[in-house]
Structure formats: structure tokens, C-alpha cells
A = this chain, B = another copy of it.
Amino acid sequence: MSSFVRPLAVRAACPSLADNSGDLDRLIRAVREVLGDDRPVEAPLARVSILCRCFRGAGFQGTALVSDLGDRWLLTDFLAERPKTLMGVALDLGTTQLEATLVNMIDGQILARANRINDQIEYGSDILSRIHFATASRRLQKSLEPAFIDPGLVTLQEVIRDCLNNLLAELAAQADVEPGAIRALAVAGNTTMIHFLLGLDPYHLCREPYIPMLNQPGILRAEELRLALHPAAPVWIMPSIGSYFGGDLISGILASGLTDGDEPRMLIDVGTNAEVVVGNREWLIACAGAAGPALEGGVARMGMRAGPGAIDRVNIDPLRFELSYSTIGNVPARGICGSGLIDLVAALYLSRIIDIQGRLRDPVLESDPDRLAFMGDRVIESGSGRAFVVVPAAEASGDEPVLLEQLDLDALMRSKAAMYAILTTLLGQVGLEFSDLREICVAGAFGGHIDPQRAVTLGMLPDLDLSVYRGIGNSSLQGAERVLCEGAARRACAEIVARITYVELNVNQEFMIRFSGSRFIPHTDPSLFPSVPFYNENS
């Protein structure tokens, strides 16, 4: 039994003139007897009256709820009956979206799932613009008083708190309980989102040398954060490594099983940033960062998150030049999400509508009549240059065609180049080849939907047997779920942090060289991608 909140059967002697220790002291003594270790047990002041009354009301025996804080125990409640369910919430606190599960910590069963857009989007779609918003007044201060609190930061903290509280209420409603019945929370988020949640000044996060206020917030209590779950509920915040390497990735490492075996594995998590880790049970090396825009809907003008109306699969028959696609929810297309974009660009390459540099070819230079006919329908001149019509206006939602513009293609080319450069640079640091990897776990919204073969075609992922790839979905959320249920997972977080070596790519020369080499489809060195046809028009 090692859940984050642990039920503990205790029984104490009744008070008497001969044994008149205080109710709480008596309860703590009984708890310590059962725990059998030397660490102190403490109760939050605001809970003492309630604890004492519950203890008395139950006749000085029942179930104490305790949480291991590492150096001590937190005592949060006392129940007359042993509970069958102890609910905790695991949260992936993303820049774009919050995703959460309600977990029965006793048996690990998932009782409810919910997600919400991060309402902070109103104040900036990306991390940098939100940091800007949160520090706007701070930057106007001539000399910064240590106690100065930026109203922008207060706003962002309130927004994320409300957003999270709404999500908690939704989970509780699904399980038909009050939010106060949720007795623990485990949060995995990037370093900036954690700063916003805790109300910490994010000013230095985006300024060299990119220093967070803290990387290890430890375990807080719901009431400290004014979160609408049980007020004494412990809140586990995943530790981070730095500004660009957050607790979401630590959580992902935990969930991926990277540290379980002797053979090296790789974890690729593409959320708002691209984050990559390689390692085994003995070592971990990681990098992350501003390595080109991500595939979370931010790349293309028509890009969108994976939601209803998003094109998630695209194919072009390279002989008959027929384009087929599917949308999430089978509704008219509104845009294109990351997996659809990769499918599309791979298909455009394989049907030679774009060249190895990712440029839409000029239809007037086309000799193949079928391709010419297809391009005549699909390749147009838009305001900002050439564009490809993915879905014509008549078929699309709101009679707006879904377009892929040359600018979008350029951005995707940078992204895919950055991704491959990251992977090779990181492996180079430890002297490994791709073929040494036992497994490549692809996580995130990206990982859940992407077709690895198409990413290989683009030269985004290495050309390996497809069985090496494993899509693991939202690993950040899964790590948080494990923290709620397993003591070993909680201990592993600190081990991961202690063991990881972080490579800063922004200042890495090798990365810049590899990045340049990756700006072709599939690569300037096509021998690296034997399974991908190489259509060099100049050759």
C-alpha cells in the first residue's frame, strides 16, 4: 500500500485522568505506532479541530489518512470507516490544454477523465507572450521592491486556478461526488505553467541563463493554492530541471519506462516544445527547447489542435492523384492538426508536388498530365504566395477552404529539421546510434496520432523498423497518475532529476550544423533514409 494518501487503521486508548494527552497528540501517537518510523507526523493547524472531533466521534479508532512528505508525514483526515475509494486527480497542466483523470488511489482505477482549454490563452497563445503579460508592470519598475507583485501575474494565477477548479468540479460531477472528496492532486506541467500556478515571478525564465525561481516545489496543500478540493489535500508538483525542461517531461520519463531497463530507450515528447530524453536505468540525457515551432496546431495558419473538425489523416494516391482525408468527429474540416500535417506533407513529397526543400513546385513546369491536372486544381496563388488547397471551400466548414501555404510548409520544414537534429545531437552526446535504441516512445498529442512511417518519410524521425516506435499518448498525465498510486513512482521522480544530464541546444554548435543538414526531405544525406525515395529534381 503506497498511495499518495494512505489509509491507516489506528486504535488509541481512550482519554482518562491517567492519560490526558491532547486529542491530536493521542492521534499522532497512535499513527506513529502504526507507521513505525521516526519521522514526525504533523497536521495543518486549520485541520486540528476537525481531526480531533472526527477522532473523538469515532471512539478513538478508525482510519487516519496520511501522506508521506519525505522528511515527515502529513495527517489530513480521520474516518470512522475504512474507505473503499480515495480519490486523487492527476493533471497534465499544459500551456494549451489541461487534461486530468480522477483516480481511485487504492486500486489505481480511473473513475473519470476531462480536459479543458487553458483559459490563459486569452492572455497569450504561447508561453513567451504570457510571461510578457505577467511581467509587464514589473518591467516598468525602476527599482524592483522584493515584495512587488505584478498584477499581470496575479491575473494569470487566478485564471489558471479558476480553470483548474472548473476541471476538478467537472471530474467530481462525473463521479457524482463533491470536489471536497478529492483528497490529492498530482500536477505535471512545464516550468512556466508551474510558476503561474504558484504565483512565482516568471521574469528570468525566458532570459539567459533561463533561471526558474524554483525547480522543486515539493508537496504543497490545496488550501495554500486555494484549490477547490479537500483543503488539506497534498498537492504533488513534479520537479523540473530548468526553464525549458519541466515536470511534464519528468512525468513522461516516469511513465515511459525509460529508466526500467539496461538497453537505452528514447522518449520524444512534442507539445509546445520538442523535448527528447535518452537513457536507461543508469543514465539519462535530455534536451528540449526552442528548437523550432511545434506540431500542436501552432505551425500552420490552418493548424489546430486535435479536436472536432481537425484533419488528422491525409493521403494522396501518387499514381491516380486522388486526395483522401479524415477529420476528427467526421465533421466538415476546419483545419489540420499535427498528425494530418505530417501525413499531408509526406504525401505531397511522395507525389512530388513539393520538392526536397519542401517548396510547392510550379505547375507550369509540370510535364506529367495527371499531376498537372491535380496541381491545377490544388496549387493556387494566395495573398502570401503559393498555397495548396487541402479541402476546397465547398466541402469545408464555414465555406472556408483549408489551405497549406508555402509559409506553413517552411515552418514545418524547420520543425522537422529541428526534431531530427535534436535526436542526432543528443545521441551524439552519448556516442550512440539510432540502431542502439531498444524503443522510441512518442508521447504527447503528437505521439497519440502520428503515423511514424510518414514522419520517417519527412526525415523527422529516423528510418528504423517501425516496431521500434511506440505511441504512448499523454505520458505527462500518466506519470502523474502513477505518482498518486505508487510510492516507487514518487521516489523515482527525485532519482530522475538527480540523474539527468541536460544539454542546452540553444548554444550548441553541433546542433546548428545538424539542423542545416536536416532541411531537406528526407535529408541532405539520403543514405540515412534508405526506405524513403529521394526525388532530387536537380539530379
Q: Is A40 located at the chain interface by the 8 A CB criterion?
A: yes
In the assembled complex, the CB of A292 is this many whole angstroms from the nearest CB of chain B, namely: 20
* Bound CA–CA A216/B27 (angstroms): 12
Closest B residue to A24 by beta carbon equals B214
Q: Is A16 located at the chain interface by the 8 A CB criterion?
A: yes
CB-CB under 8 A from A242, the residues of chain B are 20-21
Question: Could you tell me if B209 and A16 are in contact, using CB atoms closer than 8 angstroms?
Answer: yes
Known: A16-B209, A23-B212, A504-B17. A40 touches B243 (CB 8 A): no
Q: 1/0 per position for A1-30, CB-CB distance to B under 8 A? A: 000000000000001110011111100000
Question: Could you tell me if B214 and A57 are in contact, using CB atoms closer than 8 angstroms?
Answer: no
* Bound CA–CA A45/B52 (angstroms): 27
Question: Could you tell me if B243 and A20 are in contact, using CB atoms closer than 8 angstroms?
Answer: yes
In the assembled complex, the CB of A151 is this many whole angstroms from the nearest CB of chain B, namely: 14
Q: Is A147 located at the chain interface by the 8 A CB criterion?
A: yes
Additional A-B contacts beyond A21-B211, A48-B200 (11; CB < 8 A): A17-B210, A17-B507, A20-B210, A24-B214, A25-B214, A25-B215, A45-B220, A49-B146, A52-B200, A52-B201, A53-B201
Known: A40-B70, A200-B48, A220-B45. A209 touches B53 (CB 8 A): no
Q: Is A317 located at the chain interface by the 8 A CB criterion?
A: no
Interface size on A, residues (CB 8 A): 50
- Within 8 Å by CB of A22, from B54, B71, B211, lies B211
Q: 1/0 per position for A209-225, CB-CB distance to B under 8 A? A: 11111111110100011
CB-CB under 8 A from A21, the residues of chain B are 211, 215, 242
- Within 8 Å by CB of A208, from B17, B57, B149, B208, lies B17
Question: Could you tell me if B57 and A25 are in contact, using CB atoms closer than 8 angstroms?
Answer: no
CB-CB under 8 A from A22, the residues of chain B are 211-216
Question: Could you tell me if A45 and B198 are in contact, using CB atoms closer than 8 angstroms?
Answer: yes
* 26 cross-chain CB contacts under 8 A: A15-B209, A17-B208, A17-B209, A17-B507, A20-B209, A20-B210, A20-B242, A20-B504, A21-B242, A22-B211, A22-B212, A22-B213, A22-B215, A23-B211, A24-B213, A40-B70, A40-B71, A42-B218, A45-B217, A45-B224, A45-B225, A49-B213, A52-B200, A53-B144, A54-B146, A71-B72
CB-CB under 8 A from A34, the residues of chain B are none
Known: A57-B146, A72-B71. A25 touches B198 (CB 8 A): no
* Bound CA–CA A242/B23 (angstroms): 11
Question: Could you tell me if B50 and A147 are in contact, using CB atoms closer than 8 angstroms?
Answer: yes
Q: Is A39 located at the chain interface by the 8 A CB criterion?
A: yes
- Within 8 Å by CB of A213, from B40, B48, B213, lies B48
Question: Could you tell me if B71 and A39 are in contact, using CB atoms closer than 8 angstroms?
Answer: yes
CB-CB under 8 A from A220, the residues of chain B are 45
* Bound CA–CA A21/B198 (angstroms): 18
CB-CB under 8 A from A215, the residues of chain B are 21-22, 25
In the assembled complex, the CB of A270 is this many whole angstroms from the nearest CB of chain B, namely: 23
Q: Which residues of A come within 8 Å of B, CB atoms?
A: 15-17, 20-25, 39-40, 42, 45, 48-50, 52-54, 57, 70-72, 144, 146-147, 149, 198-201, 204, 208-218, 220, 224-225, 242-243, 504, 507
CB-CB under 8 A from A70, the residues of chain B are 40
* Bound CA–CA A204/B26 (angstroms): 14
* Bound CA–CA A23/B211 (angstroms): 7
CB-CB under 8 A from A214, the residues of chain B are 22-25, 48, 52
* Bound CA–CA A351/B156 (angstroms): 81
CB-CB under 8 A from A209, the residues of chain B are 15-17, 20
CB-CB under 8 A from A201, the residues of chain B are 49, 52-53
Q: Give the one of A49, A70, A243 with max B CB within 10 A.
A: A49
In the assembled complex, the CB of A421 is this many whole angstroms from the nearest CB of chain B, namely: 19
Q: Give the one of A50, A144, A210 with max B CB within 10 A.
A: A50
Known: A40-B70, A220-B45. A211 touches B15 (CB 8 A): yes
* Bound CA–CA A209/B49 (angstroms): 18
Known: A57-B144, A146-B57. A49 touches B17 (CB 8 A): no
* Bound CA–CA A59/B78 (angstroms): 47
